[in-house]
Every structure is written in structure tokens, then in C-alpha cells.
Structure 1
């Protein structure tokens, strides 16, 4: 991560996001209907604030007529009778803003949402790919304008300075270290303080950032609080707090940009295969393999489609990765739609692990790479939650000793486990000719049985299961399993002691039963359950 002095951030301010959203929606409906529509009246959104219905946002037509956010709806209708007022929908606005931020990842993977109408992009080290910071800023605002969105932008060394300039001085590109001079003419509202603090500053004659930038910080903090000092430092470039990106940053990226939108799906898949080979070459140079990958298709109309794929073991084989995404794309319930064409296709590694190169001898036994590949292909085709395996848990209770999890999260071939130093957490298997001490499979839930025992704590003489009476010929046990007392610390009941018996009836069928509760100590009437069958 670059230091604060070399970091370059671009900010986009969307002042009419709510009304732009409504206009875009109506434009889409008009395109699907025949005939010309009359011109729209000025559009505003309304919300209840300070016990009155006030304008939350206005479109360009309403702004030209003198309407502005904060004005009461009654005053607005008195000035412009023929306005259209729509209730504000903050959730829909936030969804659109997140979609715009996701689309902005075509320029840089580090994109964050700031407030209800701002987007911050970390363009450090990538602006030269687009002709420089000024050209990049122009490209952003022009592309958004082409989709019906009003956007203003600026570039500075801190996010707060860039956002403030985008709001009050759009189009500015501030060189490193010039933030203090650039923000000096801005009003104190650029600090983002509450209305009471802004009025107090104005009452003291401090109406511009430059008026307070040179004041002693201790006096400002004592009078207005530390928030003012912190935000002032951010505006002037003296501090740059961390920013949380909208999506996790990829580890490695390979992408292809097109001079004209490309709408052929077969070409898109071929490009994805080329990117897979490029990406695996990068992984090989770093001695790593990818565990999670993501393909992103950026359409020219602003839509972004992301397709993720995971692997059971670290992977850096380009052919296997291309085949994995081919299976993943063919299994999509909602197929890819190029629309008006793709501008950018990107393939990213979102999680990677060390993967050392190995050399097998001519007499080496086949490893589990084929099984790893099978797990990946089935997970891509059917979904990772439908391809599962059992993982061991640290519990003596038989039904809690294993849990079913997606295979890609826990699966490792024998050689892969050796390379990554993963311990095998299952008990060592018994000899091939040794008798089974427990059934290989258990019932989903123990089934109650009726038993007759010679003594209360002895093995059963006969039992009835599913209305069939079984006479016991032989019995082994008990295998006592005490309850997990530590579960009581979480407020759960720890359960009762279990005594397991391996029994065989007169017809040679073998069962695994247990008695729940020790007689006389935990209960006066122990119950019996059948937990599994021996083959």
C-alpha cells in the first residue's frame, strides 16, 4: 500500500442520483413501448424532515427553476405548480450507487462508496494507463453522463479533499501536496460538520476553509471538538485515513480491454481462456496457486456480471482454469448477456496459497490431482454446496464427530496435504481384517427401541425396533460416552451418559444400540436407542 504522500484518489459526486435513477427507469420503459411520450415535468423527491415534507433531491429542470433540496414541498409547489413529487427511496438509491461503484472497477479494483452520493477510487499507479489523471477523470464523468447520470469529479491526495473538490470545485486535479491551497476557497460546509457547528463558525467570521486552516489546532479542538481538526487535516492533505473497498481487493489480475464493445459470447470465452493462461504465468512467477477466482464482464451500458469459481487445492494450470470457468459458465441459471457489448473482461485471483513446483519420478504412484480436478469440475457444474465431504470435529458424541461441508473447503489429495503441511484429523483406520467397532454409517437421528434387559445396567436380551422383535444372541460392551459438560457453560443441556452395545440377533444381524442415562444416578428409567447397523 502506498504511503499517504504518494497516494492518488479520484472522487465522483452524484448530486442528482435519486432523480437520475427515476429518469433512467422511465427511459427504459419508454424504449420498450411504442410512440413518443410528452416531455416530463420537473422532478423532485420528497422526504419528511423537521416535521415538514421537504425536497430531498431535484433534477436539472427543477434546479433551473430555482428549486433546491431542503425547500418545503408547499413552497416548491407555490413557485412551480407543475412539478412531479416522488417519495424518496434511500434503499434504491444505495443499490444504484453500489452498482455504479462496481462498474467503476473497470478503472481500478479499489473502489469505495462514500456517503449517499459519493464514490472514491484509488488510482495510484494506474492513471497513466488512461492518458493521465485529467483524461481518466474526464472519461469517468463522460461515461456516466452517457448512461444518464450526472457526475462531478476531482483528484487529490486524500479522499475527503477529492470529495470536497468534486462537490464544490469539480474538475480539479490537485498535485501532491497542493491540497491545502486547493481547498482554501471552499466553504466550511465542506468539512461535513453538523449544522450547529457550521453556524458557530460562520458567526465567528470563519466561512472558508482557508480562514480556519491556519488557526491553532488546540483551540479549534477545545471549541469545536476533535472531529473538526481531524477533518481539516484530511482536507488539507495532512492525514489520510484508511478506506474500505466495496469488494475485496484481488491478489492478481489479468484483463483485456476493447477499443469497441465486443458482443460475441464465443470470443468472450476465448478471451477468458487467454486470461487464464496469463494469470497462471503470474502465479508461477510468484510461487503460488489460486484457490478462488473471479471473472468480471463489464458491459458498455454499465452492467457488471461476476462469476466466481473455487478450487479444492491451489491451482495454476491455465488449461484447467479455463475448463473450470467453461463448466461454470455453462451451469449458470442466468446465462451471460453481452447486451451492447463488453468493454472490459477481467480475471482475478481473490485467494492464493503457496504452491511449490514438484517433479515426479517415473516409478511414482499416481497422486490425487485427478480427484482434486474432479471436485473442482463437479463444484463448478453443480454448485459448491452440492459437492460435499465429511470433516472431523473434536467431539466424542458420534453424531457430532463429523460435519458435512463443501468439498472445496476441506478436500486435499494426499500429496497436496503433504505440500501444505495439513494434518489429517481423522483417526487412523483399523486393519483390513479387524472387526468394526462402530457402524460405517449412522442414522440421521437415533431411533427409540423397546428393550428387555436382565439387569438395569446390563446388555439387552431382546428389543423391538420398527415393530419387529429381535432376540439377542450375542452382545459386546458397554462403550461409555460421557456427556460434554462444557456445553452447559453456553446455557445448553449437556445430555446424559450413553452406554453403547454391539449386539447380534439370532438371525445374524448386527446392531449398535445405546442406553441413555445411568440407572440410579442420572435417571430411574433409562431409555434405549438404535444408532446404526453393522454390514
Structure 2
């Protein structure tokens, strides 16, 4: 279970300055290795840049080490870059692909802390408060993360401080710096202004005023800085100095309970994975039981050694307090996966979390047959939902309207089972036939009715889906008035008929409006264009 200590807040800031070009080069290396083309092995060593269109001109958006050694810079026009290096390799920017890669890296970072936030466009914040000791301390944790990203061919810089802005400022200037709590102001005062990440216009204005370092700006009165450069910059400055805090926004909400198992050697066998999930479920249930809670939403996360993360979600209708139920639900979910849970080279971390919990209300279940039956039904719904998806298991609730297509509302059975069992439906005698069909079409389908049989009564025959049906029995009409305040000028009445054809098929059809309108079909015959079939009787 996750435990949050009262120790000072610590933020690890990661920055991948060449993420766009690193992503492209990794993709090219993977392609070359799959094609086994030694002749092209040196192709990735050529200077490479990524360009983006800005102000109707292509400019350098990212570059690699080889391009940087040639003197190329970000923001430089592509024409100038080609003049310096005619054989440079040029790639188009793909911010969406860069964002997906950054999210994949953030998923990988979840193994260190559940509080991971994006720092657009190419950075991450990790709240490591109270968890760095699990990895040998802050320095060891930062070294582990940076070394792993470097092995994956990403250029990365990092810094740790008490605030996110201070950590970001440090990492922009000095990779690997760790600022102790309370020493933020001293750590950043000698850094240049651009390390703050403020707007270029503000930086130029400060330099014109003779202020070149963060310490120079910090020595001035706050009201002077605010009056000239705005309150937002003053807040940024104070956060860099550790005099204020800017909470990060984690990508995922923090679960109520977290338990996890780390392996010194990666595991890949199904038996070990199942046994680990069962052991984690026992720990999770014990932690929740101490506070009288049960899980309504569970997530099992599997962290592979190559950085790939797979997550499996399970929802329940009632708070779960038994290990056997959690095991069974995840077994159903794993068996129903379209893509099997591929361990690759193995999982080095398996985490089980309860993202939503509720207080368990104790009930007398031994003598109350209805409560026992309700529990069995809820358990069955949970198992089916785990296999085919919760949205596919629905119950229907009556609505306070007489409009047929709005009379019922399909909702998730897991979350509305009690409401469905207590819902009151219109009653009818057992000997009476149903007035409404069991199956309604999502959208009424038009039918062709000869105009000679209209306007007042039901049609003698009609054509639906290219088949003609001769009507032999009719019941109706049942006039339904639409909700005129919601129709926005649409037809306000429908006349419904229950009709049966020669083959015994029973239809629920209606005429839209009080009177039929005259139209002509392809053969020139007059037809009533506003007749529809809305449902079928069993």
C-alpha cells in the first residue's frame, strides 16, 4: 500500500531536448535491424534535422549531435541549414507522434511513482516524495532513470528540487543537479535568465535593464518586477527560488490503494504472474479491510523490462472484499484479451491498485434470500462484464415520457442494478397482448404505402425493405403527441397501428402527422411518404 510521508516535497524533472529526432532515429534503426541491411548501417550517422513550418517558412525544429557540431541551431531556416550542410537529412515534424512517445515514456516512469505529469512539449515531472529510498536514494533513482533512457537512445537531462519550477530550471542548465530542501534560491541565483523558461520578450527586457542572472532579478523588489513584467513572471521567479509552489497535474488520478511486487529477475511464466496477482489481491484486501472499504474499480499494471506497460481494468457492481472474487475477475479479463498478455523478456514489476473504493455496508445475508440472490446476480454481471466489457452489459430504466424511443434508457448493469430492480414499469393484465413491441428500431424506417389506402385509416399493404406485406389484421390507432416544446417545428403527432400480414409477421407502424402527403414514386404512382415501421412484435 502506498504511504505518503510528511517529508518535504521532492520533484524530479526530466527533459528530452531531442525527442523528435531521437524518435525518428530509433524508428530507422529498428527498420534497418529488421531488414538486416548492413550496407545502410551508417545511414543514421549522417547529420539529421526535423523541420516545421512557421511563418510560411521551414525552420529547424530539432537536430542531432552531428548537426549541432556543424553549427546548426533550432529556429534556423532550412535554406540556411542546407547551405551549411547540403547532404543533411531532413524529416518533417510530427507532434502527435512525439506526444505518443512522451506518453509511452511517462507510462514507463509509472514504475517509480504514480504521480507523473507531462511538461510540454518534451518533459516530465515525477513527484518522488517519500519513495526515493525504495531505489537507493534520489541520486540513485535519477541515475537509474537517465541510464535506462540513454540505453533506449534518448538524450535526457534531469534535476531534483523542492518545486517543479526549480527542478526544471536546474535541469535546463546543469544535468544531474540535486537541490536540497531550502537551498533552491542559492542553487539558481547564478544561473542565466533563459534557464527560467520565460518568454523571450521578458528575457530581452531584463537584459536591457542590466539583469543577467536569476539572482540579479531576485535582488530587486517584487513590486518593481511585477509592474514591469507582470504577476505571472513574478510567480515563476518565486517558485524557482523555492518561495512558492506550483503543484503538478498527474496524468492519472492517484488510486486509493496501491500494492506492487518488484522482481530482482524478470518473470514471464503465467503461473508466477497469477500467483503474484493473487498475493497482491490479498495485500490489497487486507489494506482496505482495515478501513472498512471495498474496491469498485481495479487496475493491474504489468511493467516489461523493455519499457512496455500493459494495464488491465476491472469494474464491479458491488464493493469487492474477497480475494477469490478479484482473482476470478482478472482471470476472466485475461482470458478475454484480444491480444494475449505478452511478457516479452519478462515483467520486472506488477502493480495492483484500487482506483475507486466505497465503504462496505454490513447486511444480514444469511437469512435474507433476496440479498443473496442480488449478490449472485451482481457477481454474474461482473464476470460477464470482465469478459466482454462493461458497456455491453446493460439494464433498462423507465423514463417519464410517452415518446416510444425515449421511454427506456439503457445504462450499465454494474452501476445501476439496484435502480433497475426497484424500477416500476407500467402494469398490464397477463392475458392482454403487449401494446408495444419488444424490439424497437434505433431509427424508424420508412415504408411505402399506396396513397389510395390513406389518409384516414391503416394501409391495406405496404412495402418495407423491398418486400410487400399485405395487411390482414389491424389494431389502433394509438395517437402519440410529441413534446412540442422540444420538437423545434417538427411533426407533433403520430398515429401508431399494430398490423399483421399474411405470413403472421406483426409490425408496429405509424403515420407521421395527421394527414398523408402526396408524392410520386419512380413509376409515377402516388404514395404516402410519411409512414414508418418502428418495431417488430415477437
Please give the range of the TM-score, normalised by the shorter of the 2 chains.
0.7 to 0.9
Separation in structure 2 between the aligned mates of residue 502 and residue 72 of structure 1, nearest angstrom: 73
1:179 counterpart = 2:178? no
1:287 pairs with one of 292, 308, 317: 292
Q: Does 1:335 align with 2:332?
A: no
Task: Specify the alignment match of 2:260 in structure 1.
Answer: 255
Are residues 303 and 437 of structure 1, via their aligned partners in 2, closer, same or farther at CA, if it must alter by over 3 Å?
closer
Pairwise CA distance, 1:463: 5.0
Q: Is the 8 A contact 2:398 2:424 kept in 1?
A: no
Deviation at 1:425, TM superposition (A): 6.7
Question: Whole-Å Cα distance in 2 between the matches of residues 78 and 528 of structure 1?
Answer: 72
Residue 435 of structure 1, aligned match among 432, 435, 445: 432
C-alpha distance in 2 between matches for 1:156 and 1:201: 25
Do 1:5 and 1:157's aligned partners in 2 also have CA atoms closer than 8 Å? no
Q: 1:403 Cα shift?
A: 3.1
* Aligned partners of 2:261 and 2:350 also within 8 Å: yes
1:399–1:442 CA contact under 8 A, matched in 2: no
Report the CA distance shift for 1:86/1:263 in structure 2 as closer, same or farther (over 3 A): same
1:284 to 1:210, Cα distance in 2 relative to 1, 3 A: same
Shift of 1:431: 6.9
* Secondary structure class of the residue paired with 2:272: helix
Displacement, 1:193? 2.4
Contact 1:463 1:471 in 2 (8 A): no
Deviations 1:89-126 (A, max 9, x none): 22222211111111111111111111111100111222
State TM-score, norm by structure 2.
0.83
- Judged with a 3 Å threshold, the aligned counterparts in structure 2 of structure 1 residues 499 and 73 are, in CA distance, closer, same or farther, namely closer
Q: Which moved more, 1:183-192 or 1:52-61?
A: 52-61
Query: Post-superposition shift, 1:4?
Result: 11
2-side partners of 1:214 and 1:406: how far apart? Answer: 60
Q: Which residue of 2 aligns with 1:402?
A: 408
User: For 2:296, what is the secondary structure of its paired residue?
Assistant: strand
RMSD across aligned positions (CA): 3.6
Tell me: CA distance 1:532–1:148, structure 2 relative to 1, closer, same or farther (3 Å): closer
Gaps of 5+ in 2: 463-467, 517-527
Contact 1:213 1:232 in 2 (8 A): yes
Moved more, 150-159 or 314-323: 314-323
2:373 aligned residue: 367
User: Residue 462 of structure 1 contacts residue 471 of structure 1 at CA under 8 Å; is this kept in 2?
Assistant: no
State the aligned residue count. 514
In the superposition, relative to structure 1, how do residues 531 and 132 fare at CA in structure 2: closer, same or farther (>3 Å)? Answer: same
Q: What 5-or-longer segments of structure 1 have no aligned partner? A: none
Distance change in 2, residues 1:57/1:527 (3 Å) = closer
Distance 1:467 1:244, change over 3 A: same
Please give the TM-score of this superposition, normalised by the length of structure 1.
0.84
- Residue 19 in structure 1 maps to residue 7 in structure 2: no
Which whole-Å CA distance do the structure 2 matches of 1:30 and 1:281 have between them? 51
Equivalent residue, structure 1, for 2:484: 485
**What are the within-5 Å matches in structure 2 for residues 453-532 of structure 1?**
464=461, 467-471=469-473, 481-488=480-487, 492-493=488-489, 495-498=491-494, 516-517=512-513
In structure 2, what is the Cα distance between the partners aligned to 1:306 and 1:201? 48
**Could you list the per-position Cα deviations for residues 335-371 of structure 1 after superposition, in whole angstroms to 9, with x for gaps in the alignment?**
1221122121112222233322334234635422222
The corresponding residue for 2:42 is: 38
Give the superposition deviation at 1:297. Answer: 1.1
Deviation at 1:508, TM superposition (A): 11
Paired residue secondary structure (1:32): helix
The worse-fitting range, judged by mean Cα deviation, of 498-507 and 178-187 is 498-507
Change (3 A) 1:118 1:279: same
How far apart in 2 are the matches of 1:24 and 1:134?
28
Q: Secondary structure at the match of 1:395?
A: coil
Partner of 2:104: 99
Q: Does 1:59 align with 2:56?
A: no
